[in-house]
């Protein structure tokens, strides 16, 4: 990596690049992108049409392709692919350290903005925003909301609670009935949540349920949505894999459906009618079924069985949702040491065009997170969140699987990773 979090304090001009601004599938060859001293894009286009100040720092892209900084709408900064016994040894301090390290790694991989879907505190967001710690622009949902016995309940048959003792800035999200749901929602909001995360169905890594189990009643879900609306935060994102829970969540007014693996035609109709995006998270499935993770017990047999029933169905429902025109934003369920841009390759392999997958990780994601005025495209006035990749990601979307192809990352106009000399 280059000098994380540093910048020249003067204009920067990227020269010798192909420019994909996020809006058009047509690249501008021999392009220039000029970043003003305030970190915003001053000009972008053909070299012949951009006037470059004499004092600008020149960064030569060597013919690589410049794209907008990537946005991941579903990550877990405190998560990792590790055996349960290793997880149980982690203290709250260990989790903070992991979150800071993971955020740094995400940023270095080209992901300049994230939404954490549970487990990261508002303090992590503040640490990245301060500039003292390198990391993506971050929105948090603090602790996810779950019914008793639901996907976020850490109960085990032994009586142990895998969630353990939570620190004060991660209040418990276990709640039952509309009144308890309102209280739990307010606790997350008090702790600094930008979003509320609700478990509307069971899931793969929970012991007491299955992904197709509907969780929370419509009344409970509406109470949570109402609290988010009343507080003026971004809204509610819903972990929702099973058909009934997906539709309950959409009808209750959530802002996005996470995973959506078993969605049916009626669910797709509702997403389109109410213009609710889906965040498919293919990467977590690919990571979980890796033979080494299975052999080491990181993916336990009971979780692997659930995944195998979902994974082919997920590919079918995703392709159908894309064909029908559902709004898709990128999310990965990414955790420590997961290379997040891989999701773009997976979306392109499973039904989206390469350009549409890039838009899902830029324009569509920025719109969902309410930051489209500042990021998501490379055009004058936007913050200079940019990624330089070796090759053409529209002709070769598989390049996103190779971390070495991401050769430079800038956030707010500051170069935070530079591998051009490698």
391 pLDDT more than 50: yes
pLDDT tier at 5, thresholds 50, 70, 90: very low
Q: Which of 333, 385, 412, 418 is catalytic?
A: 333
Residue 382 falls in the annotated catalytic set: no
Cα separation values, 123 from 141, 183, 227, 349, 416, Å? 12, 21, 22, 37, 21
Tell me, rounded to whole angstroms, the distance of Cα 395 from its chain centroid. Answer: 24
Q: Do domains 12-68+377-418 and 70-368 have the same CATH topology?
A: no
| Class of the domain covering 70-368 | alpha beta
Residues with Cβ within 8 Å of 165's Cβ and at least 6 positions away in sequence, in order, are: none
Q: What pLDDT shows up at residue 86?
A: 81
Model confidence over 94-137: pLDDT tens digits? 999 999 999 999 999 999 999 999 999 999 999 999 999 999 99
186 pLDDT more than 70: yes
pLDDT tier at 4, thresholds 50, 70, 90: very low
> For residue 200, which of 211, 186, 184 has the smallest C-alpha distance?
211
Poorest-pLDDT segment among 199-203, 340-344, 364-368: 340-344
User: How large is the average pLDDT for residues 187-203?
Assistant: 98
Q: What pLDDT shows up at residue 339?
A: 80
DSSP string of 118-143, one letter each residue:
SS--HHHHHHHHHTSS---EEEE--S
259 pLDDT more than 50: yes
pLDDT tier at 422, thresholds 50, 70, 90: low
User: How large is the average pLDDT for residues 164-172?
Assistant: 89
174 pLDDT more than 50: yes
Q: Which of 72, 153, 197, 382 is catalytic?
A: 197
Is residue 5 left, alpha or beta, with left meaning phi > 0 and alpha meaning psi from -120 to 50? left
Q: Order of strands across the sheet with 111-116?
A: 70-75, 111-116, 137-140
The pair of three-digit structure tokens given for residue 3, joined into one six-digit string: 């000098």
pLDDT tier at 158, thresholds 50, 70, 90: confident
Domains in the chain: boundaries? 12-68+377-418, 70-368
172 in Cβ contact with 181 (< 8 Å): no
Residue 176 falls in the annotated catalytic set: no
Q: What pLDDT shows up at residue 1?
A: 45
Tell me, rounded to whole angstroms, the distance of Cα 32 from its chain centroid. Answer: 29
Residues with Cβ within 8 Å of 177's Cβ and at least 6 positions away in sequence, in order, are: 220
**d(Cα 139, Cα 124) in Å, to the nearest integer?**
9
User: How large is the average pLDDT for residues 152-180?
Assistant: 90
Q: What pLDDT shows up at residue 7?
A: 52
80 in Cβ contact with 336 (< 8 Å): yes
The structure tokens 């070769």 sit at: 396
145 in Cβ contact with 197 (< 8 Å): yes
Poorest-pLDDT segment among 14-23, 298-307, 315-324, 328-337: 298-307
Please state, as a whole number, how many other Cβ atoms lie within 10 Å of the Cβ of residue 196.
30
276 pLDDT more than 80: yes
User: How large is the average pLDDT for residues 205-222?
Assistant: 95
Strand partners, 32: 45
The CATH number of the domain covering residues in 12-68+377-418: 2.30.40.10
**What would the 3-class secondary structure string for 379-408 be?**
CCCCECCEEEECCCCCCCHHHHHCHHHEEE
297 pLDDT more than 90: no
Model confidence over 22-65: pLDDT tens digits? 999 999 999 999 999 999 999 999 999 999 998 999 999 999 99
Residues with Cβ within 8 Å of 64's Cβ and at least 6 positions away in sequence, in order, are: 17, 18, 388, 389, 390, 391, 407, 408
298 pLDDT more than 70: yes
Q: Give the end-to-end CA distance of the chain in Å, rounded to a whole number.
A: 10
151 in Cβ contact with 201 (< 8 Å): yes
Q: What pLDDT shows up at residue 172?
A: 96
Name the average pLDDT for the chain.
Answer: 94
> For residue 75, which of 20, 29, 11, 118 has the smallest C-alpha distance?
118
239 in Cβ contact with 198 (< 8 Å): yes
| Residue 306: φ, ψ to 5° | -65, -45
3-class DSSP state for residue 288?
Answer: helix
Reported pTM:
0.95
**d(Cα 22, Cα 69) in Å, to the nearest integer?**
10
3-class DSSP state for residue 111?
Answer: strand
Model confidence over 62-84: pLDDT tens digits? 999 999 999 999 999 999 988 87
């Amino acid at each position: 990596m280059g000098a994380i979090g540093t910048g020249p304090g003067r204009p920067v001009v990227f020269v010798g690049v192909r420019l994909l601004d996020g809006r058009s599938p047509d690249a501008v060859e021999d392009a220039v992108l000029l970043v003003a001293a305030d970190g915003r894009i001053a000009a972008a286009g053909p070299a012949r049409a951009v006037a470059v100040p004499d004092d600008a720092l020149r960064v030569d892209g060597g013919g690589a392709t410049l794209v907008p900084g990537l946005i991941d709408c579903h990550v877990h900064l405190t998560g990792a692919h590790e055996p349960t016994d290793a997880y149980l040894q982690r203290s709250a301090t260990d989790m903070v350290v992991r979150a800071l390290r993971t955020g740094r790694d995400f940023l270095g991989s080209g992901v300049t903005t994230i939404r954490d879907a549970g487990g990261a505190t508002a303090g992590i967001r503040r640490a990245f925003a301060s500039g003292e710690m390198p990391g993506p622009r971050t929105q948090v949902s603090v602790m996810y909301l779950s019914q008793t016995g639901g996907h976020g309940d850490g109960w085990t048959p032994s009586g142990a609670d895998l969630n353990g003792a939570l620190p004060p800035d991660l209040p418990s999200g276990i709640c039952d009935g509309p009144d308890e749901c309102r209280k739990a929602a307010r606790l997350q909001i008090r702790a600094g949540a930008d979003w509320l995360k609700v478990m509307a169905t069971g899931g793969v890594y929970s012991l007491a349920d299955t992904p197709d189990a509907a969780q929370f009643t419509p009344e409970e879900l509406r109470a949570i949505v109402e609290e988010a609306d009343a507080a003026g935060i971004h809204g509610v994102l819903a972990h929702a894999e099973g058909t009934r829970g997906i539709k309950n969540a959409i009808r209750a007014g959530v802002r996005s459906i996470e995973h959506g693996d078993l969605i049916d035609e009626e669910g797709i109709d509702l997403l389109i009618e109410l213009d609710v995006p889906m965040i498919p998270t293919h990467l977590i499935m690919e990571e979980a079924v890796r033979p080494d993770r299975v052999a080491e017990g990181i993916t336990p047999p009971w979780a692997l069985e659930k995944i195998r029933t979902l994974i082919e169905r997920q590919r079918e429902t995703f392709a159908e949702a894309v064909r029908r025109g559902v709004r898709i934003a990128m999310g990965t369920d990414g955790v420590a040491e997961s290379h997040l841009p891989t999701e773009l390759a997976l979306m392109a392999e499973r039904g989206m065009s390469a350009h549409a997958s890039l838009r899902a990780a830029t324009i569509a994601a920025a719109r969902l997170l309410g930051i489209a005025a500042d990021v998501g495209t490379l055009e004058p006035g936007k913050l200079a969140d940019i990624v330089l990749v070796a090759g053409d990601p529209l002709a070769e979307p598989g390049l996103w699987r190779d971390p070495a192809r991401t050769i430079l990352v800038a956030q707010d106009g500051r170069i935070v990773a530079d591998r051009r000399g490698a």
